[in-house]
Amino acid sequence: MKQGAELRQALVAAVAKVIEQHAEELTALDQAIGDGDHGINMKRGFEAVAADAASLAAKPLPEFLKGAGMTLVMKVGGASGPLFGTLFMTLGKELPIEPTAADIVKAFRAAIVAVQARGKAEAGHKTMLDVLIPVAEQLESGNLDLDALAARAHAASEATKPLKAIRGRASFLGDRSIGHMDPGARSSALMIGAVVDVLKEVA
Ligand code: ADP
Ligand code: MG
């Protein structure tokens, strides 16, 4: 069973892989309602995290998450870099070295609050938060089933299609943003799916 540094390294590898595999899809989504750089931004960021995976994973969980978050801020760029960076850095700040399930539920909400403080977006604004918030709510409801969390994230990303963008570059399109999935919502669901797949192996 993977644990500690080995588990952290597996998580980085899985997230970097899913982003790489879907980079073109993320770019296409961002071409529809943004500037077409989300796939390349995310790929660049997670390649940088993966390149540093061995030394990052050797650190305790809080430092590992903070380090990954800082790399994302530096390498992803765009609007999403600082926001995903804030998500991971806040998780690192909030989580103890050996978190309980309750610690994780609490830290995930705190990380979302930090993303909201930074990006001034709410639920329904057609952003990554439209995946992150429903997943946080499911965790808070006490449903910690890993498959159910991945399914919630996936359904929530699909549910951004009919929304009109209120924040981010897609908001410049107004009603024309309707009918397209939000790229950051999709990348959030992909990351959550990848984390779930790794955690299922160790659960
Ligand atoms: P940019 O919009 O600068 O080109 P990206 O294309 O990398 O950056 O990322 C776009 C994604 O970032 C959007 O699909 C959305 O999910 C997310 N996003 C943009 N602005 C915000 C915000 N204020 N709050 C939360 N998420 C946001
Ligand atoms: Mg973009």
**151: Cα separation from own chain's centroid:** 15
Q: Along the chain (203 residues), what's the average pLDDT of each consecutive run of 10 residues?
A: 90 98 98 98 98 97 98 96 98 97 98 98 98 98 97 98 97 97 98 98 87
Q: Ligand 1 centre from 84 Cα, in Å?
A: 10
**Ligand 1 contact, 163 CB (< 6 A):** no
- Ligand 1 atom at minimal distance to the Cα of residue 76: 7
Task: Give the ligand at the shortest distance from the Cα of 160.
Answer: 1
Q: Ligand 1 centre from 78 Cα, in Å?
A: 7
Listed residue (68, 100, 105) closest to 87, CA to CA: 68
What is the predicted pLDDT for the residue at 2?
79
Task: Note down the domain range covering 163.
Answer: 4-202
180/159 Cα distance (integer angstroms): 10
Write the burial class of residue 36 (CB in 10 Å: 0-12 exposed, 13-18 middle, 19+ buried).
middle
**Ligand 1 contact, 130 CB (< 6 A):** no
- Ligand 1 atom at minimal distance to the Cα of residue 78: 3
What is the predicted pLDDT for the residue at 1?
64
Listed residue (136, 159, 158) closest to 149, CA to CA: 136
19/45 Cα distance (integer angstroms): 10
Ligand 1 atom 7: the closest Cα is on which residue? Answer: 38
CATH number, domain containing residue 100: 1.25.40.340
**Ligand 1 contact, 122 CB (< 6 A):** no
Ligand 1 atom 9: the closest Cα is on which residue? Answer: 80
Total number of domains constituting the chain? 1
78/146 Cα distance (integer angstroms): 30
**Ligand 1 contact, 82 CB (< 6 A):** no
- Ligand 1 atom at minimal distance to the Cα of residue 33: 14
Q: Looking at the whole model, is its pTM more than 0.85?
A: yes
